[in-house]
Structure 1
Amino acid sequence: MKSIYKLSILTLLSLMGLMASAQEYPVKFGVKVGANLINMAGDITDTDTKFAIQGGVTFDYAINPAFSLISGVELSTKGAKYHGTTFNDHFGDSYYTDVFVNLNLMYLQVPVYAAYKMNVGSDTKFVFQAGPYVAYGLGGKATFKDGVDKQEVNSFSTGFIKNFDFGFGVGAGVEFGHIVTKLGYEFGVINVVDSEIGKLQNRNAYLTLGYQF
């Protein structure tokens, strides 16, 4: 955990240095929306993937015509679904009941990606990016169902879901003038779910469409 915090600090210091060196080139601001294909990985291996959404503002700091530092502030929904059975032995009466868990975790997320841009036309570029992200859980709904009993609570009030998340992302996309589309994958390295039945980390594949001013 300490190494993760150190990496976060080094990343932010690098961001400040690169921003200072990028003043020769204009900073591009933008907005984006997109779809997430979310799941979790860890001790529980049979969680289910589901769709979610994301959106936010973007900042593109050009270091030179080929390399940029891409960041921003975004709202991104993550989580997973689980459907299984549990064995019950109640005063000699043995039976199985269905168990259903649905986690929706809304994060405020800040990525810091190093990007390489390749010109392929007069106003078209391929973009390849990679780097870390930090995120903090703002809210969301967790649904638990055991047999006929159903409970819905705030995701981060359960006691076993952490607010803080940290991970890495890779992606590729195309810039058509002011239009930007990207496809990428994020993998968390922190156990955001830490319970008696297992530990889980966030996973997210995404497709976004944005506009840069």
Structure 2
Amino acid sequence: IADVLVMTVEDGAKFFSAVPAIAYKLETLNRVGLGYSKVCQQATTLSGGEAQRVKLAKELSKRATGRTLYILDEPTTGLHFEDVRKLLEVLHELVDGGNTVLVIEHNLDVVKTADWVLDIGPEGGDGGGQLIAAGTPEDIAACKESWTGRFLVETFRRQDERRAARNKRAKAPAAAAKQSSTKTAAKKPPAKKPAAKKPAAKKAPAKPHAKKTASPAK
């Protein structure tokens, strides 16, 4: 039992793979970015973002109705990029199921994937509280008065660079293989024409020898 309690949620899901009722709950926690947490971790030691994700995992375990409003306050706090990606997949899955997800977030990796953004500012605290821009992430990026928009422009630029680099890497093996194939393709030299046979030299006919005739004796 002690060995199980000190397992991470991710390891626990694999360990209990033969027990669907337990594995499903642990896998749901893993999907919302809590795979690193210990199975024995007490709820009072969770951060605010972690506690929200536990509640979200509980909701995911319920039968979906498609009529739920989820409100999350900075759920990605302290998460590694890969865990942020997992959480975003879950949030989009909820939206695809007909639910509405409202997220208060500063993480641009989350903001850029939203369907609609409300940018409140222009500053934080007492310097904010005004609606600066509203629209798609691209609309916010086009708003010069929005600080969020300025950072989104840079985020989109890096995203395009990474996409171009991935495409370049994907094309490189094919280009190398094509080039290698071209180099190794054996080209057969043209067949040599048979050398023309020289006509055999004709021997001159032998000259007839003069026959000596015996002269009659006088």
TM class by smaller structure: under 0.3
Q: Which has the higher strand share?
A: 1
Return the structure number with greater relative CO, CA threshold 8 A, min gap 6: 1
